[in-house]
A and B are shown apart, each in its own frame.
Chain A
Amino acid sequence: ETGVTQSPTHLIKTRGQQVTLRCSSQSGHNTVSWYQQALGQGPQFIFQYYREEENGRGNFPPRFSGLQFPNYSSELNVNALELDDSALYLCASSLGTSPDTQYFGPGTRLTVL
């Protein structure tokens, strides 16, 4: 096990709703990256948080936002949910902002109806 935890494990929402996903990083890790993995695709980078600040963002609209807390845990918020937001959301923790190794949590599976 990587020591990275995510909650909830599964979630069902309807279009237009908002969702918050949570991630606790591995002990000692100060960086959390979030990824979206649609069915049959590879994970796509959403953004990274380092010391409570966003530190890099992928090609995702502003309705995807995040937070990092002083204990390095993190939240991913998605507003105005769309059907295409249905995916596995993965967080990965690491030490430092440009590590070669990131440790993934088990993911949250979001279904938007």
Chain B
Amino acid sequence: RKEVEQDPGPFNVPEGATVAFNCTYSNSASQSFFWYRQDCRKEPKLLMSVYSSGNEDGRFTAQLNRASQYISLLIRDSKLSDSATYLCVVKAAGNKLTFGGGTRVLVKP
């Protein structure tokens, strides 16, 4: 079983719609959680950290469920520029970031 698992998609989303997807992690000792965004053939960039209480950044909302060991990302009012691969990232104690395989989102006019 992979340490961090994501639905690879693609999620085809009409412009203006809402899309949500999850990521599950296997290490119950995981301490920090993030969503990164990666555009085609580019490097990953931090989108947002995920806190236990849930957090929102503009149109993006992230949730953490420690009991069920999953995190989620919701994108409201999708823009064409939101088309990207969204990487779920988990960090246990220490220095290693563990990435999921990514969820591809395609926003269409």
Binding site for B on A (CB under 8 A): 2, 31, 33, 35, 40-45, 48, 50, 55-56, 58, 90, 92, 97-98, 100-102, 104-107
Distance A35 CA – B44 CA, assembled complex (angstroms): 11
Distance A4 CA – B42 CA, assembled complex (angstroms): 13
A-B pairs with beta carbons under 8 Å apart, 12 shown: A33-B96, A40-B101, A42-B6, A42-B87, A42-B102, A45-B96, A98-B91, A98-B94, A100-B49, A101-B46, A104-B43, A105-B43
Task: Answer whether A43 and B95 are a contact pair too, CB < 8 Å, given A100-B34, A106-B43.
Answer: no
Q: Is B61 an interface residue (CB 8 A)?
A: no
Distance A99 CA – B13 CA, assembled complex (angstroms): 34
Distance A17 CA – B6 CA, assembled complex (angstroms): 35
Distance A106 CA – B102 CA, assembled complex (angstroms): 18
Distance A102 CA – B89 CA, assembled complex (angstroms): 12
State whether B43 touches A107 (Cβ < 8 A): yes
Residue of B nearest to A101 (CB): B46
Chain A residues with Cβ below 8 Å from B102 are 41-42
Distance A43 CA – B88 CA, assembled complex (angstroms): 11
